[in-house]
Structure 1
Amino acid sequence: MQASGLTLWDWDVVNDRIAWTPALRALTGLEAQRFDGSRAGLLKLAHPDDRPRLSAALDRALTGPQELGIEYRIVRPDGAVRWVAEHGHVLRDAHGRALRMIGTLADVTRRRHTEDALREVRVSAAEDERRRIGHELHDTFGQHLSLMLLQLSTLRRQVEQQPAAHPHLAQIDRLYRTAHELDEALDQVELQLRPPALGELGLEAALIHTANAWTADSGIPIALHDAGLQDLRLPPLMETTVYRVVQEALANVRRHARAQRVVLNIERDDEELRVSIADDGRGFEQAVAAAAPARSRHLGLVGMRERAALVAGALEIQSEPGHGVTVTLRIPLDGPPVH
């Protein structure tokens, strides 16, 4: 078992005693005499920010049908932080009361760091591509549209000086309005591809900016509520994920919902970050959408779920015809936010 990297443990739940083994000592760096063998002692091994999650996972395993399965950080006596994966099976008496829990503990630090690095690379590459496309749009289409507007203005002045050509003024004006609308639409696309406030000012400022701009452009008011996020910074990958999911959800509202109002809620506690975007629009039948992958792609649900998975998160969709749509993003928190 040790050769596979797994360490066995045995918890006498009734007497609250966890058997200590040399393998556990090697993993945690803690001598047996410094561990009292209790649940409280186990929780002390965990990183302070992960203790609530670990405690809740133990409670669920002891009281519910599911087994223990969680990854969290431990802090060794020398201050080194290690990621561990813990799995446990509960043995119960005839009445269903928990008697013992037997499980394994494995050091997964290398794997977690590799996964984190890969996620960072994937998101960074995607954001770099968005910025490249944004610059390309600005430097090519943007310049062409600006030149077109300038030429149309010049053409209009020339036509005004020729009374015989006045019947063409209306057509020139229509072309000018169309080009101007395209220019404004291009500005919005560039803004979505390259959000200026996210990297500089943080998630809260970027979401406020986006909500205000979206409301001004769509005419649909957004009520923004954030609890526990004010002036706090989250890891860049997490902030980017939240921003892009909100962005895509709002795009769906504008394209499909026929909504009169949107509510954006952001909540943070010790275990997770929850972001929900709810509208009061026409909604849709979830079973029908699930059976039609093309529709899911059309709604951007696949992309949002993929983004959530990059930060070990989950995306939930709740909807029914006539009662709007609620998109909820849940991201587990591995550590404290940065001020």
Structure 2
Amino acid sequence: MHVVRLWTPAFWLSASVQAVTVVASLGTALALPPLIPKVLDLARSAKVSEERRQRLQESEERFRSLVENLQVGVLLHGPQAEILLSNWTALNLLCLKEDQLVGKTYFDVDWNATHEDGSPFPIEEHPVPRAIASGRPVRNVVMSVCCSASEERVWLLVNAEPQLDADGSVRQVVCTFSDITERKRAEEALRESEQRFKSSFEDASIGMALVSIEGRWLQVNQSLCEIVGYSEEELLNKTFQDITHPDDLETDLGYVHQLLAGEVRTYQMEKRYLHKLGHTVWILLNGSLVRDEGGEPLYFIGQIQDITKRKEAEEEIRRLNETLEELVAERTARLVESERRLKDLVGKLVAAQEEERRRVAYEVHDGPTQVAIAAHQHLQAFADDHPPGSTVERGELDRTLELAQRAVVEARHIIENLRPTALDDFGLAVALRMRVEELEKEGWEIGHEDALGGERLPEEIETALYRIAQEALANVRKHARTTRARTRLARLGRKVRLEVRDEGRGFDPSSASRGGSPGERVGLSSMRERVAMLGGELKITSRPGAGTSLVAEVPLHEPEGDRP
């Protein structure tokens, strides 16, 4: 629609010329001269108004171009909230076309706006209606609108500036808004990050703390409070120096100085805290320093793990290792001693073997061998005196038969000494009694007391005690110079006791190992070793002229089947 602007300079110039023509045709020549200067002034005024119009139009074009190219959305509203103007940025941010906005009122548009908390944003609370209603600026309102094309929400920072007439009424409202969607996303990401940090800080299974540069606790979690026994309020009124063990403080502060000097980024150390109840708590500390953008220190971050149980376990392991080392050293010494004793015992056994062989050789030589030689001589003499065909007188071979019988007895005696069959067949008590009876037949005055009865003992105990009794009685024969003796066999609880006592000349036990014959020394040593191998004890009591008492006690071990 073309609108004629009646106030243009061309219209007024044409009308003035026509007016002058009319006046000239009706007036007199006297009236014309005074009008000429006025007509000329009017023409000059018309020329100036045309120049102003052109400048105003150029200014309007520059303003429109500026508004169109702004990176901020601009909507111009009339006093009834009608939308008079919209720039390209506004259309782009709102995902609308110009005909969907310009010419409509603010209330005709479905803004689908929400608050920051996601709740609906009532249209009467929007910045433009509020600015029209109050006549005052409404600034920095954050709201989101839905872009119909992508169904994504666009976050806007909105300002509404009312322009007033002279009477104070709203002539128009300039609404500007900028896209802060990226800023909101960054804020949301930051909020989520802070929430994650807060959750990880507060819910961490290990102690977490923020500590000032001076060492004061700024923030602590529940795990740290449980480690040291203080409440959060109590800790926030202390420094880490207050609860650090004095022996660990210097080392800890040394790491702190290295962090502040930038020599290290983090540090880790084992240290001790002083619990509220007074005892020591071992912790593993990981420390780091947070700086601002300028590199200035802000605060420390500490991660504290309770390692008290681990340290106690390490101490227990260390103590056990020391004990084990002591036991190993003791066992090694015992093994060395056992090895020495074993070598000594082997040597003694070899010597005892040789002594036993010598003894048997002497017995065979002095006993059956001599008898056999005598019998052989008698037979040789008989053969020389009685050539073949001669008559044999009665009784001439009686002596030879006697010698042969004696040789048999001597051989049996030697065999019995080597290994009595009664010991295997009937046990210790019977074998010892039979040995005593043999000595009685030889003329000994010997008594015997048996409290075992028919009880059989383990084979190794019976053999050892019989050999001890045999050796003791042999020593009585050889060294005591008496045939008066007594033997006693009894059971005392879990022990078996053998006693051999004689009324001979006696001896000094302390010098027995230094004096005496080799056979005597080996005999005593052999008896002691036999008893020691069975875990028993051998006691020899004697003094010169008062006889000798030998007592051997050997423990009885429970049979495997009787053990619990």
Give me the TM-score of the superposition, normalised by structure 2. Answer: 0.31
Structure having the higher Rg = 2
Higher relative contact order (CA 8 A, sep 6+): 1
Give me the TM-score of the superposition, normalised by structure 1. Answer: 0.49
